[in-house]
Structure 1
């Protein structure tokens, strides 16, 4: 599984735009609104205007009558983010799900397959063999509620149910590194408790949601003690409410 950054990094102007819009429904705002909120967070107006122009040119944003909207690709990212914030899990009976890549493909298709399996919280046991505990209901919006797999992935892989022999806790640690994820999550929670201004909390919230996107969503039976997953989600939910009030104030009550 990919790991999240070990500590929050300073947000760029582009990241600030994305963080603001990814937390909005619908994911759109005027340039004036985005810039006003960003300036209140400590970003320079000139840097924000350059970021908006470059993001439109790169296809990250669409601009229509002065309103900036996320591109379809980033709307899909927003949906993945929302799904990760409210995952749907089922009781675990010890079974694992295995997806085996059985159809050859070119490099682009192989990369897309790897990305989808990783985003679906599978880990690669060996080349072309991906597994995870079978406790996860479909994660991605728009995919089958029964399998969670896109048609492209279904055409390339065969799915099996299995039950590994031996130490499944050790296997889980090797594949998903839950102890490392937990340690980073605990550090983010501690940092959030210490943050005393909106700019610092905004950066920590962005780091928190990036970390949540890599939560392996394992059964409780395979998690280390004091797992911070739910507390991270609650922390981010509290920040979203706080940031909504902050943004309203920054915009002068919404006028």
Structure 2
């Protein structure tokens, strides 16, 4: 199967809230002025009024704080994804060698009654790489660092439903083991790694030829697509899928982000 090239033009445009959070996460001190954030919004066709509405909404949600008049910073305690987004470079440090066991999560059917709670639960499950094996039963390899209690605490912080049961699975029947392994399309995952590596390489060469504004815009679009993929990576053990492409993608993304920050710094400082 050939790797399909990803075009910058086909990448999803960020919302006003996305622009605010992405720039604050990417900024060294996690704080910027409203003026700078509004200037960034212009690159994506988002007006100042919409950006200021987003700032107010994020403040109300507790995801941002103010450091002074017109200056905003991230509030780690108000964002359940802060650790995942802020620490994407070290994502692989969360994995350990695999002992062949599995982790399971089971939820009661009644848990779906509240759609808002269920969406948060679904997101928590996805962020930790679980896949549905049966209705209301999710599994993943037991190769995440930490005790079962620590994993449960992390999942609950991300939005896992309180009544969910987290447990270890020591062994599976051969046919069930094969069915579980097939839940992850590892061929497609590897193709996506390669496509994103190619996108980073092409964009990295193109950025120096662009003006500051377009270069900053492209770097955010490309960076958020790659980082999103890294954050959602299920961290499968080497026994299920080679890890080299993941290593390469994280390393390439690290270099690209350093390049992107320089373009954003120049753009935001430009009068």
Give the match for residue 260 of structure 2: 243
- Runs of at least 5 residues in structure 2 that lack an aligned partner in the other structure: 1-5, 208-214
Q: Does 1:94 align with 2:100?
A: yes
1:198-250 superposed Cα distances (whole Å, 9 cap, x missing partner): 34333211110111122110001100x57521222112211222222223333
Cα 1:78–1:23 shift into 2, 3 Å? farther
More helix per residue: 1 or 2?
A: 2
Q: Work out the CA distance in 1 between the residues paired with 2:118 and 2:109.
A: 10
Give the match for residue 143 of structure 2: 135
1:171 corresponds to which of 168, 177, 180: 180
Give the match for residue 249 of structure 2: 232
Q: Which TM-score applies when normalising by structure 2?
A: 0.72
Matches within 5 A, 1:77-92: 77-87=81-91, 88-92=94-98
Give the match for residue 144 of structure 1: 150
Q: Work out the CA distance in 1 between the residues paired with 2:65 and 2:33.
A: 9
Cα 1:68–1:134 shift into 2, 3 Å? same
Deviates more, 1:162-171 or 1:124-133: 162-171
Deviates more, 1:24-33 or 1:175-184: 24-33
Q: Work out the CA distance in 2 between the residues paired with 1:57 and 1:113.
A: 26
Q: Conserved in 2, the CA contact under 8 Å of 1:138 and 1:148?
A: no
1:161 corresponds to which of 154, 161, 169: 169
Q: Conserved in 2, the CA contact under 8 Å of 1:96 and 1:134?
A: yes
Q: Which TM-score applies when normalising by structure 1?
A: 0.76
Query: Size of the alignment, in residue pairs?
Result: 240
Give the match for residue 55 of structure 1: 54
Q: Work out the CA distance in 1 between the residues paired with 2:83 and 2:96.
A: 20
Deviates more, 1:239-248 or 1:59-68: 59-68
Q: Conserved in 2, the CA contact under 8 Å of 1:178 and 1:216?
A: no
Match of 2:167, SS state, is strand
Match of 2:139, SS state, is strand
Cα 1:169–1:105 shift into 2, 3 Å? closer
Deviates more, 1:51-60 or 1:186-195: 51-60
Match of 1:219, SS state, is coil
1:77-136 superposed Cα distances (whole Å, 9 cap, x missing partner): 232223443221111111111222258435224444333222222111111211111101
The alpha carbon displacement at 1:161 in A equals: 2.1
